[in-house]
């Protein structure tokens, strides 16, 4: 494989890897919210916030704030 094709392929692999893990973190936090485990969801969101998309950060943050009536 040429070097010029290697780096874009590597970047694509890394992108999909981080997207998958971000989605896994979102699903885990969302599952905790559905089970009404709000403190665990809040703590996990704080720990994994940088790995989530901005949309997921805002959505989960709003749901947690709503649960705590903030």
- Burial string for 1-36 (b: 16+ CB within 10 Å, else e) reads eeeeeeeeeeeeeeeeeeeeebeebbeebeebbeee
Question: pLDDT tens digit string along 25-64?
Answer: 999 999 999 999 999 999 999 999 999 999 999 999 999 9
**Is pTM beyond 0.75 here?**
no
Q: For residues 33 and 64, is the Cβ–Cβ distance under 8 A?
A: yes
For residue 41, which of 25, 18, 21 has the smallest C-alpha distance?
Answer: 25
């Amino acid at each position: 494989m040429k070097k010029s094709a290697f780096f874009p392929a590597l970047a694509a692999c890394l992108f999909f890897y981080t997207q998958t893990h971000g989605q896994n973190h979102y699903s885990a936090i969302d599952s905790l919210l559905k089970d009404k485990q709000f403190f665990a969801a809040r703590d996990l969101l704080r720990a994994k916030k940088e790995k989530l998309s901005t949309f997921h950060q805002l959505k989960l943050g709003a749901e947690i704030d709503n649960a705590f009536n903030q």
